[in-house]
Structure 1
Amino acid sequence: MFSKIIKNITLTCRTINIKQIRLYSLEITENVANTFKPPEICDTKLLKVAIIGCPNAGKSTFINNLMDRKVCATSSKVHTTRNKSLAIFTVGDSQIVFVDTPGLVNDREKKKFNLEKSFTKDSKSSLSDADIIGVIHDVANAYTREILDIKVIRLLELHKTKPSFLVLNKVDVLKSKRKLLDITRVLTENSLDGKTIPGKFKKIETENKGWPLFKEIFMVSSLTGSGIPEVRDYLIKNAKPNKWMFPEETWTNETPENLVLKAVQATLLNFLPQEIPYTLKPELELFEQNNLTGDIICSVVVKCPSQRIAKLVAGASDGKLKQITETVQHDLQLAFQNFVRIHIVMNSEEKEKT
């Protein structure tokens, strides 16, 4: 092939010397070789996992257990997670990127808790980017344990071509294994990956009860960590050859400053009654990290709508504020896996106006 090309060039362009022809021949050879060059083999694997579910189902705690690190802020109240954030877990040649999304809410809840518009947008965008979808369902809630939320089902229907798995969370609360099996059958419409689950099942004629296309079902306790290793192994197994999204040492896309503020907000939700913590605005005044040791020193001002609320948060002789500070410091040390010293002060916006 190449000799024929050279011959044609020689016949039509007699003024071209032999050296030029040889150089041209080498160029053609390289171009052909590059055209048929086999694709590079990727030696790393990647899996993007969207975690969805109703508010307070345990999504953040679930991710923290999988990561073995307190990446996501958690509390006993709803809407602790206010926007989507990434948790990155790298083991061996596999990188698992978890997207912790806000709990699915309706318009009434958004207005009640003064929630951002991102609450609905983040869940939808996360599912579009994900390779697999994980649904966290709280079986400890007696009112909703036997039905998947309609908002969850609608999202799954929009992405039915993507694999999904169901995580029954807080199973340690249920003492009856039979009850747990019945709940599983209802939530999956007695199907796993589109195939009927063996055994007797009394179908309840109710629309939008469950989802029949889950690829796998896990029963876990995010609080104790029971069942978490099985989920971790499943995700690593499903990672596909691809380049990592982040360096191996990266464990979140959040800035350290944002992690501090989220930890403060989550702790306030735990320590304060009713809707008071939703009116508070933590602001970072100081953040310093030692480049050699990784030690962190930070200061946060919590702005309150009134002096009365500021005193309520601080408690008698600042006793409650000391407890809040200690809890935040402990949580941040679990997140950064390093020493953290934090100072939290209360500031009344009402006082600033006078």
Structure 2
Amino acid sequence: MNSIRKTIRFASKLRSISHELRFSSSLSNKRDTEEETCTSRLLRISIIGMPNAGKSTLINSLMDRKVCPASSKVHTTKKKSVAIFTECDAQIVFLDTPGIVSSQELKKYNLNKSFFKDSNSSLHQADLIGVVHDVSNTWTYDRIDIKVLNLLEHFKNKPSILILNKVDLLKNKRKLLELTRKLTENRLEGKLSSEHIEIEEDEVKVVRGWPFFKEIFMLSSLTGNGVGELRNYLVDNAIPSPWMFPAEQFSGDKYEDIIVNSVRSKLLDFLPQEIPYSLETKLELLETDENGRITTVVIVKCPSARVAKLIAGTYDGRLKQIVAKCQEDLQDAFRCFVRIKIVLHNEKEKN
């Protein structure tokens, strides 16, 4: 705990370096003086990062609602989606993007070419960029991927924050301090930290971080630890502006898409290896009764009878588990009772 406190104090010192360039004032300059008198406030934040960094889980945690599909496998989010959090006079619009991938990964995981476009379009719309970094990944925890750095460089005029995720999985919490220095190049808003430590010459040539982050947050999107601080920060820094969505709206996606994506995320969780990436999910039925209860049927197209049996499991045990988890997530998202049925369809039996 002491190491965590020291790391948090370090982040606070970094923030104090640029006190005169506070985030709220820099963003407010973008609005006309007429908008500044508006009683409503708005902040659009684009959440970017590498696959499986926990972007969707973080948004769900910030929303306290399972709006974005999330699973334990990479590339759960297949296209850009929008989540809306409204509190008092402030509305936060989260622009969730697919993990940044290479052309080889597009083919391997049968992904849409929009993966390349969605991150850029979200960043164009955003007032703020949130970079989610997985500190538990042994191979990449100490550097920001070059693809992310290239995006940040391209949108250097937009303010950005660093979100260190999955800190609960980091066994040695003392590493957070040194890790923060590397990922920020020992700077915040381009200014050198007061706790500057000389870097060895052989490391100077290696670009590991981004020196222009305005804030640093350390949290666990899964446990919710530290999420409240980030949520408060976003609400506090919303800018005077009309809202983009009605107060009661929580997603920019259609109900149909939320349901289908929920099923797909559970298939990713329950099925091994790359099998779920070959499946196609399609909404067959969506009905709402007078009490607001939802009834829905989703078709899962399987490439073979063997895959269909694998999904169903012994005595349909696995399928029942998938249905139960989908129902739980959808009820959390829609805040009402949901009855869902998943039908397995073997493509080879069509004829």
Task: State the TM bucket, normalised to the shorter chain.
Answer: 0.7 to 0.9
Aligned to 1:305: 303
Question: Which residue identity lines up with residue 243 of structure 2 in the other structure?
Answer: W
Deviations 1:274-314, CA, capped at 9 Å, x for gaps: 11001111111111012x42210111111101111111111
Are the aligned partners of 2:163 and 2:216 in contact in 1 as well (CA < 8 Å)?
yes
Deviations 1:18-66, CA, capped at 9 Å, x for gaps: xxxxxxxxxxxxxxxxxxxx94731111110000000000000000000
Pair 1:351–1:177, CA change in 2 (3 A)? same
1:1-354 equivalences in 2 (<5 Å): 39=34, 41-203=37-199, 204-290=203-289, 292-353=290-351
Shift of 1:316: 1.2
Are the aligned partners of 1:281 and 1:303 in contact in 2 as well (CA < 8 Å)?
yes
Shift of 1:206: 3.8
Give the Cα–Cα distance (whole angstroms) in 1 for the partners of residues 101 and 142 of structure 2. 19
Give the Cα–Cα distance (whole angstroms) in 2 for the partners of residues 339 and 112 of structure 1. 37
Deviations 1:302-333, CA, capped at 9 Å, x for gaps: 11011111111111111111111111111111
Shift of 1:237: 1.4
Helix, strand or coil: the match of 1:264? helix
Are the aligned partners of 2:186 and 2:196 in contact in 1 as well (CA < 8 Å)?
no
Question: Which residue identity lines up with residue 332 of structure 1 in the other structure?
Answer: L
Flag structure 1 segments of 5+ consecutive residues without an equivalent.
Answer: 1-37
Are the aligned partners of 1:153 and 1:208 in contact in 2 as well (CA < 8 Å)?
no
Shift of 1:202: 4.3
Are the aligned partners of 1:172 and 1:221 in contact in 2 as well (CA < 8 Å)?
yes
Give the Cα–Cα distance (whole angstroms) in 2 for the partners of residues 67 and 294 of structure 1. 22
Shift of 1:141: 0.3
Shift of 1:337: 1.2
Give the Cα–Cα distance (whole angstroms) in 2 for the partners of residues 233 and 318 of structure 1. 44
Are the aligned partners of 1:169 and 1:222 in contact in 2 as well (CA < 8 Å)?
yes
Shift of 1:200: 4.9
Give the Cα–Cα distance (whole angstroms) in 1 for the partners of residues 114 and 328 of structure 2. 29
Question: Which residue identity lines up with residue 40 of structure 2 in the other structure?
Answer: T
- Identify which of structures 1 and 2 has the higher relative contact order when contacts are C-alpha pairs closer than 8 Å and 6+ apart: 2
Helix, strand or coil: the match of 2:225? coil
Q: Percent identity between the aligned chains? A: 57
Larger radius of gyration: 1
Shift of 1:184: 0.5
Give the Cα–Cα distance (whole angstroms) in 2 for the partners of residues 258 and 296 of structure 1. 14
Shift of 1:199: 2.3
Helix, strand or coil: the match of 1:221? coil
Shift of 1:195: 1.7
Give the Cα–Cα distance (whole angstroms) in 2 for the partners of residues 201 and 315 of structure 1. 56
Give the Cα–Cα distance (whole angstroms) in 1 for the partners of residues 198 and 298 of structure 2. 55
What's the TM-score, normalizing by structure 1?
0.87
Give the Cα–Cα distance (whole angstroms) in 2 for the partners of residues 69 and 88 of structure 1. 10
Helix, strand or coil: the match of 1:303? strand
Question: Which residue identity lines up with residue 297 of structure 2 in the other structure?
Answer: S
Give the Cα–Cα distance (whole angstroms) in 1 for the partners of residues 155 and 218 of structure 2. 23
Are the aligned partners of 1:282 and 1:302 in contact in 2 as well (CA < 8 Å)?
yes
175-184 vs 78-87, which moves further: 175-184
Shift of 1:120: 0.8
Give the Cα–Cα distance (whole angstroms) in 1 for the partners of residues 171 and 263 of structure 2. 35
Give the Cα–Cα distance (whole angstroms) in 2 for the partners of residues 289 and 269 of structure 1. 27
Give the Cα–Cα distance (whole angstroms) in 2 for the partners of residues 227 and 154 of structure 1. 28
Give the Cα–Cα distance (whole angstroms) in 1 for the partners of residues 189 and 63 of structure 2. 27
Question: Which residue identity lines up with residue 254 of structure 2 in the other structure?
Answer: T
Superposition RMSD in Å? 1.2
Helix, strand or coil: the match of 2:42? strand
Shift of 1:198: 2.6
Q: Where in structure 1 do 4 or more consecutive aligned residues deviate above 6 Å?
A: none
Helix, strand or coil: the match of 1:285? strand
Give the Cα–Cα distance (whole angstroms) in 1 for the partners of residues 206 and 243 of structure 2. 41
Give the Cα–Cα distance (whole angstroms) in 2 for the partners of residues 94 and 301 of structure 1. 39
Helix, strand or coil: the match of 1:177? coil
Give the Cα–Cα distance (whole angstroms) in 2 for the partners of residues 208 and 124 of structure 1. 22
